[in-house]
């Protein structure tokens, strides 16, 4: 088990390292310059040379790569072209916001998705199951940003139940009591988390329904039924436990979706997270920020799938004994 864990860890680190390297060379070998003129006139060559020297872009590529890795190892992600401050500072502000949003969405996705999947499996083939199958497929097909806009229009602009963007109320937040501040944060979190969570829950439910039906068709369920257990108990205590294993895998897979979704959903809700940082960086061609957000996203995904693997190994003792990859 320890050796298996170590191997997975080394593989995870290798993947992150490969992503860093690929992104670095893709950016530096690509044609064109990061420095665009702000007005109509082309950029003065001496100004461009000065900028290149300032950001170290005039040195040989190999040397740049080595110093980039060295800086990275010391937690230095470079300086943002457009924000005039270290990238790590921008990232430090953005990552917690994205993690809060993604974690809430993930919780919603799993709870709602597993519950719907269980109900569907219990009513398999009946009208409720069919209805839920169609509903979940519909939600799974929605573009996340458009669902966000619709929720924003209905619950934000028309009903005024929730604020229309941001993490906190910019004016009132400081004046609120601690409980009031928490409530303020939760009210801001509700719509973006719901947007991501609903689409994700639809996917989880589709997956979970199939996994449960698969588990229900197996021998141990027949045994449980033969023992005279109630159908609810068979479903919850026997089938669901076994069908949770695929759900752990699903959790690992959900992370890329949540991060991708966060790019557009954060833009819709003006949520100052990694996704919005990345989207804004593209439009201003701020590529130290681009590199850093890509790297952070890759690290989160790899960490998520590693965590899923470990949870899987804990839940299913057969994993890690054999099956060396």
Partner 1 sequence: MTAVPLVPPAVVLGAVVLGVGLLERRARGPAARRFFGSPAAALGLGLLLFFGLLALLAPLVAPYRPAAQIDIVGLQNRPPSWHYLLGTDLFGRDVFSRLVYGGRVSLGIGILATLVSVSLGGAVGAAAGYFRRATDAVLMRLVDVGLAVPKIFIVLVAVALGRPLTPVPLALLLGLTGWFATSRLVRAEVLSLREREFVEAARALGARPWRVIARHVLPGAAAVLVVSAALSVANMMLLEAGLSFIGAGVQPPVASWGNMIADARDVLATAPWTSLFPGLAITGVVLALHAVSDGLREALDPQARRGPPASVAGERS
| Sites of contact with partner 1 (CB under 8 A) | 11, 14-16, 18-19, 22-23, 26-27, 30-32, 134, 137-138, 140-146, 149-150, 152-153, 157-158, 203, 206-207, 210-211, 213-214, 217, 246, 250, 253, 256-257, 259-261, 263-264, 267, 278-279, 281-283, 285-287, 290-291, 293-294, 297-298, 301-302, 305
- Residue among 36 and 186 whose Cβ is closer to partner 1: 36
Provide the CA 188 distance to its chain's centre, in angstroms: 18
Task: Supply the minimum distance, in Å, between the C-beta of residue 178 and partner 1.
Answer: 34
The radius of gyration of the chain from alpha carbons, rounded to an integer in Å, stands at 24
Task: Supply the minimum distance, in Å, between the C-beta of residue 294 and partner 1.
Answer: 4
Q: How many residues make up the chain in this entry? A: 325
- Residue among 90 and 301 whose Cβ is closer to partner 1: 301
- The owner of tokens 């957000």 is 293
- Residue among 178 and 219 whose Cβ is closer to partner 1: 219
- Residue among 184 and 284 whose Cβ is closer to partner 1: 284
Angle at the Cα of 233 (from 229 to 239), degrees rounded to 5? Answer: 110
307 vs 302: CA distance, rounded Å: 9
97 vs 291: CA distance, rounded Å: 19
Ramachandran class of 312: left when φ > 0, alpha when ψ lies in -120 to 50, beta otherwise:
alpha
Task: Supply the minimum distance, in Å, between the C-beta of residue 276 and partner 1.
Answer: 9
| Number of other CB atoms surrounding residue 243 within 10 Å | 24
- Residue among 189 and 297 whose Cβ is closer to partner 1: 297
- Residue among 147 and 224 whose Cβ is closer to partner 1: 147
What is the torsion angle, in degrees rounded to the nearest 10, for the CA atoms of residue 57, residue 28, residue 18 and residue 97?
80
| Nearest residue to 277 via CA among 93, 23, 44, 69 | 93
Task: Supply the minimum distance, in Å, between the C-beta of residue 174 and partner 1.
Answer: 29
């Amino acid at each position: 088990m320890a050796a298996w864990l170590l191997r997975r860890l080394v593989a995870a680190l290798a993947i992150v390292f490969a992503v860093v390297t690929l992104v670095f060379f893709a950016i530096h070998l690509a044609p064109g310059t990061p420095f665009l003129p702000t007005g109509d006139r082309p950029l003065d060559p001496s100004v461009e040379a000065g900028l290149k020297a300032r950001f170290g872009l005039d040195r040989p590529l190999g040397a740049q790569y080595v110093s980039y890795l060295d800086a990275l190892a010391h937690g230095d992600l470079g300086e943002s072209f457009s924000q005039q401050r270290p990238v790590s500072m921008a990232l430090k502000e953005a990552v917690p916001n994205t993690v809060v949003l993604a974690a809430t969405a993930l919780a919603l996705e799993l709870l709602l998705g597993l519950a719907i999947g269980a109900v569907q499996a219990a009513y398999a083939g009946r009208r409720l199951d069919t209805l839920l199958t169609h509903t979940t497929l519909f939600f799974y097909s929605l573009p996340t940003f458009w669902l966000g806009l619709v929720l924003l229009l209905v619950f934000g602009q028309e009903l005024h139940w929730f604020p229309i963007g941001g993490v906190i109320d910019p004016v009132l937040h400081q004046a609120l009591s601690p409980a009031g501040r928490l409530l303020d944060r939760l009210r801001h979190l509700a719509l973006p988390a719901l947007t991501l969570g609903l689409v994700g829950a639809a996917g989880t439910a589709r997956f979970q329904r199939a996994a449960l039906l698969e588990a229900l068709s197996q021998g141990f369920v027949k045994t449980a039924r033969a023992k005279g257990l109630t159908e609810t108990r068979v479903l919850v205590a026997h089938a669901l436990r076994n069908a949770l294993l695929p759900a752990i895998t699903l959790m690992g897979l959900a992370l890329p979706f949540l991060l991708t979704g966060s790019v557009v959903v954060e833009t819709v809700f003006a949520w100052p997270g990694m996704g919005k940082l990345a989207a804004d960086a593209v439009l201003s061609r701020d590529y130290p920020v681009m590199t850093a957000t890509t790297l952070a996203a890759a690290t989160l995904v790899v960490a998520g799938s590693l965590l899923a693997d470990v949870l899987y190994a804990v839940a299913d003792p057969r994993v890690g004994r054999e099956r060396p990859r």
